Structure 1
């Protein structure tokens, strides 16, 4: 950004952010149990001892979400080479 002071601008109110099209971020803890895995309960601490999850129930911290790349069954290997290595 050409304006160095751009990062120092304070928005000031939620309304100014809403006019920019930025919606409020609501914590899962304050939602109902039907809306988020962290939601529900009668006040107090929520989700203590439970791993944090996304709104869709997938674990968020340290949980691998990418699929493992399986080796193709179509690759032809010689059994004789494997025997020589032993």
Structure 2
């Protein structure tokens, strides 16, 4: 099992957010959804299509 930060060839590191060995974000990244605000979202701003 390899860590998501991985090895790479030579000196390469980073390029990715800090993650646990299972690929979940860590180090201050919010991983829980905010359940208190989704009752106010009637329609997503991004679901409108052009045309």
Structure with bigger RCO (C-alpha 8 Å, 6+ apart): 2
Task: Give the number of the structure whose residues are more often helix, by fraction.
Answer: 1
TM-score normalised to structure 2 length: 0.48
